[in-house]
Amino acid sequence: MSIQVKNINKSFGDFVALDNVSLDFPTGELVALLGPSGCGKTTLLRIIAGLETSDSGQVLLDGDDASARHVRERQVGFVFQHYALFRHMTVFDNVAFGLRVKNKKERLSEPEIAKKVHELLNLVQLDWLHDRFPAQLSGGQRQRIALARALAVEPKVLLLDEPFGALDAKVRKELRRWLRKLHDELHITSIFVTHDQEEALEVADRVVLMNKGKVEQIGSPDEVYEKPATPFVYGFLGNVNLFHGRVDGDGIQVGEHNLQHSTSTNLASGTPVVAFARPHELDIVDYSTRHDGVAAKIDRILSFGVNSRIELSAIEGTNNDGLPQHFEVELSKAEVVNRNLSEGLTVRIVPSQLKV
Ligand code: ATP
């Protein structure tokens, strides 16, 4: 089922939670709603589900206005962060619940229900736990059971609100991969809310970035990471180095230096700009033999695995707040050793990729 959200506005008292949000989710897509806490992700999900009403705007399901449709008529399955399994019921009964409460006309016989529940438990690879109670499961297992329960009623849309939020990092990672695989098998239009960049970029077909009730950008994980549309997006999606300067021909003038960038802009020379590069898009070169790049002092070198993170402060130039500019560069540990980089050393930072 496709979902269209048109010009949705929602306020709680004076507080604007959603500000004219319009989005299009094609059938079968797995979409992440990503943004900081309080940006309106959950509110949007609840409006799509019919658990909350908007002040204005429309939700269309397969092209039809869903406003008048009750939650149960929207064919939507939910999974929330705090697994809402019934504690007094076994895994089997939790998954069977939705099938047993269906209206009388559609109700399945007990053997039919049992067959379906075992199919679903096999799908989430937990059939062997069918007679356990939720308290006897791990967090990750509970989430998979919650998903099996949501799938039992054959939803046309799956809405997942921070489905793995309460779990530890390792289990989260496993479940992310598992969700992606499951989605590839079932192709149910799915929207999941997360405030975790890595989770959104790793799992989703498309990412919707939200900030303060507005949509900042929609795109594939690659698009939003490599071509962030707004300063908010590039700041939110991982570490970023900012270069405050002015347009100068094909490059930008930062302090005394002209840095080349890889974006085509129509900006006139002299226009103030903030260019940016990810830590792996910066290189560190020798201070005395090179004369390009931004002069900086190495403050700290942190090594983990095969990589090193190098924190530096610019010797000349400041950011817009008048503070010394800080940079973060990612190099392999071997490069750090080969170039004799050490804390306190003065070097030059040269971007290999710089975007405006
Ligand atoms: P989080 O990641 O923290 O869950 P979110 O992006 O999902 O955040 P929402 O839960 O949609 O954010 O909330 C958006 C804003 O609306 C928040 O500032 C929240 O305090 C406010 N809000 C949400 N529901 C209500 C309500 N029922 N009454 C008043 N304010 C609300």
Q: What percent of the chain has pLDDT over 90?
A: 47
What spacing in Å lies between the alpha carbon of 201 and ligand 1's midpoint? 23
Residue nearest to atom 17 of ligand 1 (CA): 38
**ipTM metric:** 0.92
For the CA of 44, the closest atom of ligand 1 is 11
* Cα 272 to averaged position of ligand 1 atoms, centre (Å): 36
> 13 CA distance to ligand 1 centroid (A)?
12
64-68, 71-75, 146-150: range with lowest mean pLDDT: 71-75
Cα(16) to ligand 1 centroid in Å equals 10
- Going by pLDDT thresholds of 50, 70 and 90, the confidence category of residue 324 is low
pLDDT bracket for residue 129 (50, 70, 90)? very high
Closest listed residue to residue 86, CA positions, set 142, 46, 167, 157:
142
Comparing 116-120, 134-138, 150-154, 300-304, the range with the smallest average pLDDT is: 150-154
Mean pLDDT of the chain: 88
User: Of all atoms in ligand 1, which is nearest to the CA of residue 210?
Assistant: 6
Nearest protein Cα to ligand 1, atom 29:
12
179-211 pLDDT, tens digit per residue, is: 888 899 889 999 999 988 889 999 999 999 999
Among 42, 47, 196, the mutation site with the greatest number of ligand 1 atoms within 8 A of its Cβ is 42
Q: Which domains does the chain have, with CATH numbers?
A: 3-236 (3.40.50.300), 241-351 (2.40.50.100)
Instruction: Work out the pLDDT band at 82, boundaries 50, 70, 90.
Output: low
Going from the Cα of 183 to the center of ligand 1, the distance in angstroms, rounded, reads: 27
| Rounded Cα–Cα distance for residues 258 and 291 (Å) | 11
What's the pLDDT score for residue 268? 84
Distance (Å) from CA 40 to ligand 1 centroid: 6
pLDDT of residue 336: 94
What residues does ligand 1 touch, defined as CB less than 6 Å away?
12, 15, 17, 35, 37-43, 195
Q: Is the pTM of this model over 0.80?
A: no
More confident residue, 233 or 81: 233
Q: Nearest C-alpha to atom 5 of ligand 1 is from which residue?
A: 38
